[in-house]
Amino acid sequence: MTRVLIVDDEPAVRAALDRALRLDGYEITLAADGREALDSLADTRHDAVVLDVAMPGIDGLQVCRRLRDAGDRTPVLMLTARDAIDDRVAGLEGGADDYLVKPFAISELLARIRALVRRHEFRRSELLALAALRFDATARRAYIGERPVALSARECIVLQYLLLKTGQIVPREQFAALIPGWDAGTSDNALELLMSRLRAKIEPGGVRLRTVRGLGYLLEPATAV
């Protein structure tokens, strides 16, 4: 289960976010200030941090800077009542991955968290394999056995994510969020064309890339029933 740390000095805000994220299926840790947040992050691995900027003592910017200085790349979504450009720039330069100005819609917060977790999971993968197909995420190269497979930049992104989600149906909207220049309005035909080209390149490696109509795409071993 995805674990999220919520850090805010306002009890009502913590309670509201705790309730909303638990209903969305997240496991939640709560912290009332920067010191509690740092202690929690030192003790337990989290998949994302929702971090208020304005807190007494160690504020959100300091927490984020300390995390990054320690080499911790946990995704951080900053929350603030400030909407000045300079404040947003300070948060992003301090290592935050995204920035949300209060007041905000819970639906937007949940969408931002999902996107951050997906991108972080995507970056963490290095060497992925299924049957005879291998993908080196660092070098951005695919192989069937020892034979290189020529992939476009978009095909590399899609293949890496499909390998991360082997055996799971991946909705098309998730690919739109990952591929630079694409969005939710990208046509089904454009994505299906990309998948068709990728399918022709990788299926000789003993894998099957299925289109699950109305749902998304599924990568599995070719022998799967």
The pLDDT tens digits along the chain (225 residues) read 789 999 999 999 999 999 999 999 999 999 999 999 999 998 888 999 999 998 989 999 999 999 888 878 889 999 987 766 676 777 777 889 898 988 899 999 999 999 888 877 766 657 889 999 999 887 788 999 989 999 998 899 899 999 989 999 998 888 877 777 766 566 678 889 999 999 999 999 999 999 998 889 999 999 754
pLDDT at 225: 47
Assigned CATH topology for domain 126-221:
Arc Repressor Mutant, subunit A (1.10.10)
Report the half-sphere exposure of 122 (CA within 13 A, side-chain side): 19
Q: Are 133 and 186 in contact (CB under 8 A)?
A: no
Amino acid at 102: K
Residues of the chain with CATH 1.10.10.10: 126-221
pTM for the full predicted model: 0.59
Residues of the chain with CATH 3.40.50.2300: 3-123
Say which CATH architecture domain 3-123 belongs to.
3-Layer(aba) Sandwich (3.40)
Q: Compute the distance between CA of residue 136 and CA of residue 115 in angstroms, rounded to an integer.
A: 23
The total of other beta-carbon atoms located within 10 Å of residue 39's CB is 11
Q: Are 48 and 5 in contact (CB under 8 A)?
A: yes
